[in-house]
Amino acid sequence: MDGRPLYLEPRLGPRLRSLLAATGTLHTLTDALGSPLHVVVPDQIAENLAGFRSVYRRHHLSGQVFYAHKANRSSALLRRLAATDAGVDVASLGELQHALGAGLTADRITATGPKNPEFLWLAARTGVTVSVDATAELEQLAALVRRYALAPVRVLLRLSGFETPGVRVLSRRSRFGTPVRESETLLKAVERHGDAVDLTGVAYHLDTTSVAEKATAVEGCLAVLEACRSRGLRPRAVDVGGGFGVSYLAEREQWEAYTTELTSAVLGRRPPLTWGGHGYGLREESGTLRGALGLYPAHRSVAGASYLDELLSRPAASLGGRPLAALLLEHLYDLHTEPGRALLDQCGLTLARVLEVRTQETGGELLVRLAAKADDIALEDHGVLMDPVVLPRGGAGPGGGPVAVHLFGSLCLESDLITRRTVFLPRRPEPGDLLAFANTAGYAMDFHATRAQHQPAARKVAAWQDGDTWRWCLDDQFWPITPSGGAQ
Ligand SMILES: Cc1ncc(COP(=O)(O)O)c(C=O)c1O
């Protein structure tokens, strides 16, 4: 191996650390249920929820934490949440049915995202709150309510295109939500359909890590709530969506060293660090670096509940510089959040069996083929770079020091790369070993899963600690009352 290894070691909380130490159990599970295999840890989601709740308490705010279901299809995680006081944000008919079936009542569910008529009807029929994307959707909903003689439906108005008091638009363009400058039309529609909808608040979801952009959006929402009140409407909540993020890596230094070396490799100043010279968005043009790094910031000093804390503590530039939380509290507005990835932090891992380890005749990296497809371990689809943990089949074994490898999937497709980068492992993996990809519960388990080439999508199990022992069941067999299975 040329040069020193550039590790990107996963950040492991106590639960995942303990689960990874149960090597025998993890091997037995994959022997029985196949590779790849997803393992979810329902108790962790309840702990993450408590972290969000404590930020609410610190700022004296009331409101609901709605888990963004789209990030993982797991029944176990959803049912574990049903045993808490959390809500769920559903983005499809199937997710709504799943949430109702898991025991979440309509008052704990919001329907967001693009909606087909069946989804809208079931939402209206069961009385969940609908986050309305546009005037046309509001009209459609009102028509359903009248046609089927349903009770008025609670609605939030999803807004986008927020601006600072100057002209510069600070929040990025979104194809979802109604631009704030068109909110007047939406409010007129709410008034027109007052018999069919009950306006409870306004909402946004911005796909950005920028706290400044989100603070601008909260200020924009507060201004629209004021406009509502001056028209005699009585909304009482701001829903700030999701996007609180996760810090995936254990060490900031490793992340910084990796991105620095990647840049050097793209500029040709060191040997390539990726398969086929891929630059993750960066490229070299006449000796100059161009493009932008298209990666998730895998080490973040502020993420999850702390990110919410930072947002709420931020002074509102257009509203006298007072913290956003103080402004929400002063108006007695509820704060709703829709964390997906952040609630799933440390909630699972994905196991893949090593099938083949090939040495290249020309030397260089080992070619490691796994019993998994790239879409089963979709960390790279989300721009997350993180090393797997090697779980040797027969105990620790000889190892022989660090190696550089390329990780391939099991499809006969050049592009089926588990990761495009060269991965450094502390020891040479052998056929039969498992690679454990930590922290895959948020979007990396089933969001992209396919059955290409008749290869099965990964199965999923739920695992929990019973004293010193890890117990498990199939994901859809898990209920909070499963013997020792979670909620007390
Ligand atoms: C409306 C809405 N809310 C919440 C989320 C969850 O975002 P995250 O998983 O980044 O918290 C999403 C993600 O796409 C979304 O579209």
Fold (topology level) of 14-41+346-472: Lyase, Ornithine Decarboxylase; Chain A, domain 1 (2.40.37)
Ligand 1 centre to CA of 207 (Å) is 8
State the distance from the centre of ligand 1 to the C-alpha of 481, rounded, in angstroms: 29
- End-to-end Cα distance, the chain: 51
In angstroms, rounded to a whole number, what is the distance separating the alpha carbons of residues 203 and 188? 17
pTM above 0.85? yes
**Averaged pLDDT, 74-92:** 98
Q: What is the DSSP string of 312-374?
A: HHSB-GGGTT-BHHHHHHHTT-EEEB--STTTTTTSEEEEEEEEEEE--TT-SSEEEEESS-G
Q: Is 282 helix (H, G, I), strand (E, B) or coil?
A: strand
Note the pLDDT of residue 319: 81
Which CATH number, 3.20.20.10, 3.60.15.10, 3.30.460.80, 3.30.70.20, labels domain 42-245+300-336?
3.20.20.10
Tell me if 242 CB under 6 Å of ligand 1.
yes
CA-nearest of 432, 422, 413, 424 to 357 is 432
123-162 pLDDT per residue, tens: 999 999 999 999 999 999 999 999 999 999 999 999 999 9
Dihedral in degrees, nearest 10, Cα atoms 476, 479, 484, 488? 150
Check pLDDT > 90 for residue 478.
Answer: yes
C-beta of 87 in contact with ligand 1 (< 6 A): no
Whether 14 shows a pLDDT value over 80: the answer reads yes
pLDDT at residue 36 greater than cutoff 70: yes
What pLDDT does 170 receive? Answer: 60
Q: Is the CB of 95 under 6 A from ligand 1?
A: no
> Is the CB of 158 within 6 Å of ligand 1?
no
Q: Please write the tens of the pLDDT for every residue from 353-365.
A: 999 999 988 878 9
Name the residue among 144, 63, 121, 131 with its Cα closest to residue 91: 131
Q: Structure tokens of 398?
A: 């000889």
Q: How confident is the model at residue 1 (pLDDT cuts 50, 70, 90)?
A: low
Q: What is the pLDDT of residue 364?
A: 87
pLDDT at 484: 57
Q: DSSP letter at 249?
A: B
Q: Please tell me the distance between residue 82's alpha carbon and the centre of ligand 1 in angstroms.
A: 19
The answer on pLDDT for 448 being more than 90 is no
Residue 245's identity, in one-letter code, is G
**pLDDT at position 473, please?**
97
Omega before residue 36 within 30° of 0, cis: yes
- List for the chain the helix, strand, coil content (%; round to 5): 35, 20, 45
Atom of ligand 1 nearest to the CA of 339: 11
Instruction: Say if residues 111 and 87 touch (Cβ distance below 8 Å).
Output: no
201 CB near ligand 1 (under 6 Å) = no
pLDDT band at 397 (very low <50, low <70, confident <90, very high): low
| 40-49: average pLDDT | 98
Site to probe by mutation for ligand 1, drawn from 77, 132, 205, 381 as the one with most ligand atoms within 8 Å of Cβ, is 205
Task: Spell out the domain ranges in the chain.
Answer: 14-41+346-472, 42-245+300-336
Mean pLDDT over residues 381-394, rounded?
A: 95
Residue 413's pLDDT is what? 77
pLDDT of residue 174: 77
pLDDT at 165: 64
